[in-house]
Chain A
């Protein structure tokens, strides 16, 4: 998986691209670190570039949410397509992180 983070005073935008699986913990260590940097209290995880996610990938999104909460940042998810959208639905993921 690849990611980019754009951050300004209005929002933190994290773009995720490719396959998000149990092997992507190192990228998510860096993403959770970025939640400690000064910036907006609103973070959007844009998953429109993700083609596949597994349950550990969802777990990694929850770890971002935990890091964000520690810094009073609210997280939401947007842009889920196909398999990613289906995974969010069958796990009722919007009960854990709001899905736009």
Chain B
């Protein structure tokens, strides 16, 4: 798939431009002042990421968005390399991604950036939602199942979720979504930082376990790589 020109400017929202200067100069990027308007295209570094701020941020002309945390700006050389090979990229912590309707925001971001039919937007949203749930819950949070097998387990499950979202080991792991497109298709990849999973292992479908088969119904092709940490879904336009 072809990509447009890679973004060459960084816009900071809630982050001091000085915090990204060194990284920017190492990678030939220009840091814009705090009050600059977003040029086409640009990388946004966003602090205090939450539903409201991400809803405003994930719109053209922003091409990539990195959640900044107290630990840093969130950009890495590897992520920039992946950004340059696609048209949209988003990097968030698990804690933020879990609490945000990202599938809705990302499918809207794609549809604003390239014209796609309403039916495809709906399919993209569901597929992203299912893949995100797998990446967050099984990948970064390390749960075997998306939900407990019985309603009796909901209370303990809720406590476990809360605990893992707030601990460093799980809640601060990154999740990365990216999208590429051409005239024929739209691709979306989701990369987590969990232990990975065996794509060939049988999935027991009960209360949960339906996500991947739903994605396969919606997509032209589904590839799982990097030991189960990356899923790439391609859809016909």
Contact = CB atoms under 8 A, between A and B. Distances in A.
Given A22-B147, A25-B147, A83-B126, A55 B214 contact: yes
Contacts of A60: 147
A62 B149 CA distance: 10
A70 B161 CA distance: 26
Nearest to B128: A54
Contacts of B208: 55-56, 59
Most chain B CB neighbours (cut-off 10 Å) among A22, A25, A83, A87? A22
Secondary structure call for the B interface: helix
Interface in B119-149: 122, 125-126, 129-130, 133, 137, 146-148
Interface in B136-179: 137, 146-148, 150-151, 154-155, 157-158, 161
B133 A63 contact: no
Interface size class of A (residues with CB under 8 A): 20 to 34
A28 B157 CA distance: 12
Interface of B: 98-99, 101, 103-104, 122, 125-126, 129-130, 133, 137, 146-148, 150-151, 154-155, 157-158, 161, 207-208, 210-211, 214, 217
